[in-house]
Each structure stands twice: as C-alpha cells, then as structure tokens.
A and B are shown apart, each in its own frame.
Chain A
Amino acid sequence: MIKIGLILFLAAATISGIVAQITPDLSLPEQSNGVITFDISGIADDKLDKLDYNLLSVFVATETNEYATALPIQGNFSIVENKLIFKPYFPFEKGLAYVIRLKNSGTEKFYYLSFQIGEKEKNEQAKLLSIFPTADLLPENLLRFYFYFQTPMKQEEALKHIKLIDEKGNVDDHAFMKFKEELWSNDGKRLTVLFDPGRIKRGVSTNVIEGSSLENGRRYHLKISGEWKDVYEQSLVKKAMKEIRVVEPYRKKINIEEWAVSEPRFDSLDKLIIDFDRIIDHTLIQSMMQVKDGAENLVEGYWETLSSEQQVQFVPKNKWQQGSYKIVFDTRLEDVAGNNLQNLLDHNIMDKDVKEIFQFIDFKIL
C-alpha cells in the first residue's frame, strides 16, 4: 500500500519548463527497497547538467514541513531511458512519511509531494493471554504462577496488579515473594510469580505464623487489574480473574513409574502420550524431557501439554520405526509445587541427595 498526498497540489500541465505533469511522470516506490523514477524526456539537454538533489530531493518528513535547510536523503542518481532514477543508500522505512521536492527549472519553484510505504506495524493490544497452571484445582503447596502477555509489560509493579483474594474477600498481601527484581522473560511477556516459600515450607517461621497462602478445601480467586500497562503505555484490555479451588498438597516426590505412557503404532505419526499423576511445571517440559531411540539418537518432535498440564504429548516429526525407545527425564523436572524427581521442595536437608541426572521410561514400537 502506498499513500500519496500533494502538499502543494499542482494542476497538471500548467508548469512550464521541466515538469509537464507531476504525478504521471513520477513513479514512487511501492516497497521499502524501491526507487523513485522521474521522466525527464521533456527537459532540455542543457538543463540536465546537474541531475542531482537540485532537481529531485527526498526528505524524511519534518514536523514543520520546512525543507529549506533540511538534509535530503542520500543515494545514487542514474538515468535509464529518459528516466531519472533515485535509489537511496538505505531502504525506505514502512510507516515513515517522506517528502519529494521537485524543482521547476523554468520558474525555480519547488513542488512538494509526500508519500509513505505501508503502515507502521502497530503494537498488538496489551492482553493477558493465559495463567499457568491452567487448572482450577491446585495443590495447597503450589509454588508459582506464570502470566503470559501479548505485549511486553511494564516491570516492577506486578504485585500492585495481582491480588490473591479469599472466600471472604480478604486480600493476602503477603502471599507472593517480593524479589529485588521481578522474574520476567527476556521478551518481557512472561512473568513468574512465586508464592512466598516460607509460607509453603512446613515449619518455617512464616508458615507457622501466617499459615499457608492457600488452604486445602478453600476457594480463592486471583485478580489481575486492567490498569496494568505494557511498555507502550497500553492498559490491559480487561481485568482478569482466575478461580482457584485448593486441594491436597503434593507431598510425594515425583515417581515416573506411576505415569502411564501410550503405545504409538509402527509407521504412524501417533502421539506419545504421558498421563502424569499430578500437574507438572509446563515451562520445564520442553527442556527436560526428550525421546531417544535404541541407538541414543534424539527423536525429532515437540511436546504439548494437555488436560491442564496433567498430560503431555510428544508430537513426532517422522513416523515411528520398530525398535526400543526411551523417554529421558532430567531429574530437575518439577511439579507445580517445586518437587522434582530427586527431592521434595521442603525435604529435610539431612536426607541423602540422589545424584542421578536422568531417569528413563522405556517403550517399544512393535
């Protein structure tokens, strides 16, 4: 899309000398890397001595629309078949307004024409896309929430906008950890909010005094205010609410032997499905779970979470071959309460550490 506008409109064919008709003789770039061409067949040879910025200049549009002292964009001029071609050294930018100045060598007057290539890509709306874990039923010792946004959000004000409210409408201001800096992904679109671990770990003073942030059997809701702005100063489209029903805490470390694994068929693209016995931290699945064949080669594909992160499926890129396979779990894989394959989050530090790095579930394709 190219937008053209005459700043000073010219009646066609009224200009003596160089320019007979402005717009038909002038062709504007339609793409960023385009050129400006100007028909010069009507110009006397003696006026063509200096085919440069005198005859045709292009500017980045200024606020005042004054170009007497403005610097023209630099580039190369060439003449091909009676056409003067201007190619800037650098491509035109989408959404930026440019102004072409043409000089009538007869009257020494300047004529101006503005154009623009496309629209500047607009920011998407500020929006809360999802909250993980996505389940409503969450364990009493839930460790963290993840908030996914459409655009990068303003940082260091999250806890002003995220509130945990109990059944009676009381806001728990101490539910979440206050860090020196908030835990944002590099692109500013994912926020991790941790419950105060002192409230979760049994026997730690805040747990004893204030109790657990979430209590088994109770209902809460998580409220996210619509006043939260993204870095472009756009407020979230609407406020959001997540209902939570609290269930038994996860007090057992993860035992992968309790997980059910589906049986993909030979020569198929069947998904490999694992049913967890609990909700697993979705952020760790891609990096901490792999499928390998009998020769230890990585099977290409990706993981998707299903059923509120209580189930995961591996989508293979290629068809399954006969043979033995294994699912490799990094023992740092965690459930949503921070328990991993080696330890519970609040394990006794006197417990012996298990030093395994990986655990496996074997399966065969027949």
Chain B
Amino acid sequence: MTFKTIFSALVIMFSISSLNAQQIKSLGAMTFSPEGILFAGDKVSGAIHAFDLSTETRSTPQFEINAYNIDAQVAAVLGTATGNSKINDIAVHPKSGEIYISVTRGHGLEAIPALVKVNATSQLQVVDFPTLKSSSQALNKLHDGSQNFIIRGTMGPATIKEIEKSKLPMRTLSIMDIQYHKGEVFVAGITNENFCSALRRMPYPFNGKESISNIEMFHIAHDEYETRAPIRSFVIKNIDGKDQMVAAYTCSPLVLIPLDELKNGAKVKARTLGDMGNGQPLEMVSFSMKGNDMIFVISNSRTPRVIPVAGLNNAKVYTEKDFERGGKSDMGILPIGPMGKPVMFTGSALHIDLLDPMHFATIRRDPETGSMDLETVSIFFPNKLNNVMAEMDFPQYVKEHENDKKKKK
C-alpha cells in the first residue's frame, strides 16, 4: 500500500492557481470607481480585477428594488441548486444604479466565479464578465494556501463548526475589502508574513506597481497590540485635514490610518479611536444625512451602527495607558469612543452599499423566515416593517387618526 501525502482541495486549488495569477478564478470583495470601473478581489488567483462598465447608463427610473430569496434566484439563473452558490459581496454601479453581486458557484475544486446584477425592476441578469473589457493586477506576498488556522473553542471544547473554521487556509483572508480613491485601489487583508495585517495600494490603470504596508493597532477589547488579524472593512475620509482610512477590525476597534503613511515596506501604527463593541464588522459604507458625513457599519454580531465623521476629528487616541490590564467586553466598558450609535435594522444585514443619496441597497436575513432578501431601505430609517407589528397596524388606529386629522382641519 502506498501512502501519499494528503492535500486539502484548497491547497491544490491555490497552488495550481498561483501559476496563472491573472486568470479570474474567484470574485469576492467589490467596489466601483465613480466612473463605473468595477474592482473585484480574487483570492484564489491572487489578484485584483478591474471590469470596465463605464458605458452603462441608467435606463429606467429607480424604484424600490425587492429581490426576495436572492440566493435562490441567483442559483436559478446560474443553473444550479440553491445552496450550491454563495453570495460574496454587492456593489452598486454609480451610473446605472444596478446592484452587482459577486458569487461563487459550486464548492472546492468545482467552484467558479459568477457575476449577477439586479436592475431597477428587480430583475436578475447574469453578467457575462469574460466578455467585458478588463485588466488585472497580481498581488505580491500572498499565502500559498498551505497553512490553516488553529482550532479554538468558545470557553470549552471546540465544536464541529469551530473545527471546520480551523481548516480554512490563511489565504482566505488575503482580500477583505477594496476601495477606490483618487486614482488608486486600496486593499485590506493579510500577507504571508508574521506581521501580516496589511494594506496594499496600487494605481489604476494598473501598472504592476503595488505598495504594501503592515498595520499595527492597539486592540482595546483584547488589551494588546495586534499585527495579524486584518482590517475587515474601511472607508476613506478627510479627517483632521487629510485623507485617512477609517478601518474596522473584529471585536471591534475603529482606527484611523493616514494615507500618506502607507508607503511600501512601512510598518504603520494605526490610531485607535474607540471600539464599537464585541463582534465582527462586515461592511462599511459612507453616506450623507442632512449634510452630515456619516459611516454606516454592519456587523455579523450587532445591529448596524451610524458613526458621524465629525466626531472622528480631533478625537482621543486610545493606547494601553488608558486602561487597566485585561480584556474588555460588552459586559464592561464597551462600546467606547465616538462610535455613533446603533440603529434599528430588522433582520440581519449581510451586505450593504449606497444605492442613491437616499437609499441603501442591502442583502439581509429575514428574522422570522431566515430568507435572504435583497432590498432597498431608506437611509433615515433603514427598515422594512414586515417583521414589525405595532399600534399603527390596527385598522381602528388608522380610523381614529383620520378622524383626528379631520377635526384639526
């Protein structure tokens, strides 16, 4: 009997893909430039791809978009069973207002990328992305996919799901978020180094040049300086008179990183402005409410939070000197700092982007049915009321209310 080394499917997938880094092998985190270039992270081939969608225009007036059971709809148009495709991210085209969805169709070695868009009338259309004008840039210092995470339980033996988590290659955190800013693409993620939390920046149009900085930050909840866990999501804002990255980490510090410090090879100390409370941020989106610059943050563990950018100017920077030693949690002092406030959001937000100045496009899980629905919600009250039954839903209330109105007249 011969014994051959057992490789996981992912290791094989990654090692093959590294031979041909420019091929489009997956589509994950996405963002649009104002001109309509779609940037998508590909952690399988290890590259950022740019698709030119700049000629797309708005053809129909924007109405409310509701694509219920979006996971099942995506699977249907891709000709596969529900559950055999996974939604990775959404991004709204700045000109057409159409919502682009990056998808992984299939699992393991069979997995292939797909791009689907939802138009103003809530119709799905598969985007035949190989036919689009595109360019790619391969990323440097990527994990080869051979190293996995460790097994860590939650105050006890690890569950099967926790063990499954440990089988993920570290490479899966290579590309967490992408933003386009003034002719450059910024990418948060990790490199193959020990001090691996990294920000990459590269000019667009791509010219092969990539600058990689490693980021250290003080983590209030963990009471330590951290250099590995990556930035989960970020936006770029003008704070204290210069362009700075506002970045969110797991469990859940919010930090500032001036863009002018992001030089190739630099070890950058981020400024910790506070902590949003335990949990894992998923996505951040900039918007403006009544003329005020705001950030909307969604988390896999908390209701969304709205952070006024004004509060981040001249803000206190927290270090280890500000606290007694030991971990911090929601049961203690968290949240802390100018972290805005949590807002009502029925169900659980999985993905979000700004649709137009008045609306977000979001994919959320319905709290009662668990269905995954793509919807648009108002920035003032980002909710649908199908899960809420209140005084105002009673017919008698409506009647009385109408009578009151008449009396007033």
Contact = CB atoms under 8 A, between A and B. Distances in A.
Given A155-B160, A187-B8, A190-B6, A59 B76 contact: yes
A186 B3 contact: no
Contacts of B125: 74
B158 A180 contact: yes
Contact of B3 (A75, A181, A282): A282
Nearest to A88: B79
Interface in B48-76: 73, 75-76
Contact of B126 (A74, A156, A283): A74
A71 B112 CA distance: 21
A155 B158 CA distance: 11
A186 B167 contact: yes
A156 B160 contact: yes
B80 A286 contact: no
Nearest to B126: A74
B114 interface: yes
B265 interface: no
Contacts of A92: 79
B136 to A, nearest CB: 20
Contacts of B8: 186-187
Contacts of B285: none
B79 A181 contact: no
B154 interface: no
Please indicate which of the listed interface residues A181, A283, A285, A304 has the most CB atoms of chain B within 10 Å of its own CB: A181
Contact of A90 (B105, B157, B158, B167): B105
Interface in B65-104: 73, 75-81, 84
Contact of B79 (A90, A156, A187, A285): A90
A221 B75 CA distance: 51
Given A89-B128, A186-B8, A60 B158 contact: no
Interface string A265-300: 000000000000000001101110000000000000
A307 to B, nearest CB: 12
A60 B76 contact: yes
B4 A286 contact: yes
Contacts of B153: 180
B163 A90 contact: no
Nearest to A134: B1
Interface string A50-92: 0000000011100000000011111110000000000011111
Contacts of B76: 59-60, 70-73
A296 to B, nearest CB: 23
Nearest to A146: B3
A93 interface: yes
Given A156-B160, A186-B167, A93 B6 contact: no
A89 B114 CA distance: 9
Contacts of A185: 6
Contacts of B77: 71-74
B151 A90 contact: no
Contact of A96 (B1, B81, B126, B167): B81
Contacts of B163: 155-156, 181
Nearest to B72: A71
Contact of A305 (B1, B114, B158): B1
A130 interface: yes
Contacts of A187: 6, 8
Interface string B1-26: 11111111000000000000000000
A302 interface: yes
Contacts of A74: 77-79, 124-126
Given A71-B124, A186-B167, A304 B160 contact: no
Nearest to B114: A90
A286 B3 contact: yes
Nearest to A59: B76
A232 to B, nearest CB: 15
Nearest to B115: A89
A74 B80 CA distance: 11
Nearest to A95: B81
Interface in A232-282: 282
A93 B1 contact: no
A76 B127 CA distance: 11
- Chain B CB within 10 Å — which of A71, A283, A285 has the most? A71
Contacts of B112: 90
Interface string B143-187: 000001001010001101001000100000000000000000000
Contact of A302 (B2, B7, B73, B126): B2
Interface string A167-189: 00000000000001100011101
Contacts of A93: 79-81, 84
A286 to B, nearest CB: 6
A142 to B, nearest CB: 19
A59 B153 CA distance: 43
B157 A96 contact: no
Contacts of B4: 286
Contacts of B148: 186
Residue from A180, A282, A287 having most chain B Cβ neighbours under 10 A: A180
Contacts of A88: 79
A186 B80 contact: no
Contacts of B2: 302, 304
B80 A304 contact: no
B160 A180 contact: no
A147 to B, nearest CB: 14
Given A181-B158, A186-B8, A302-B2, A60 B151 contact: no
Contacts of A305: 1, 3
A91 B77 CA distance: 12
Given A155-B160, A181-B151, A181-B158, A89 B81 contact: no
Contact of A287 (B5, B73, B105, B160): B5
Given A181-B151, A304-B1, A89 B6 contact: no
A366 to B, nearest CB: 29
Contact of A286 (B5, B7, B81): B5
Contact of A180 (B80, B105, B157, B167): B157
B3 A283 contact: yes
14 contacts: A60-B80, A60-B81, A74-B124, A88-B79, A89-B128, A90-B78, A90-B79, A90-B80, A90-B114, A180-B157, A181-B157, A190-B6, A286-B4, A287-B5
Interface of A: 58-60, 70-76, 88-93, 96, 98, 130, 155-156, 180-181, 185-187, 189-190, 282-283, 285-287, 302, 304-305
Interface of B: 1-8, 73, 75-81, 84, 105, 112, 114, 124-126, 128, 148, 151, 153, 157-158, 160, 163, 167
Given A156-B160, A180-B158, A181-B163, 19 more contacts: A58-B79, A59-B76, A60-B76, A60-B80, A71-B124, A73-B76, A74-B79, A74-B124, A74-B126, A91-B79, A93-B84, A96-B81, A155-B160, A180-B157, A185-B6, A186-B6, A189-B6, A282-B3, A305-B1
Closest 5 CB pairs of A and B: A73-B79, A71-B76, A74-B126, A186-B8, A74-B77
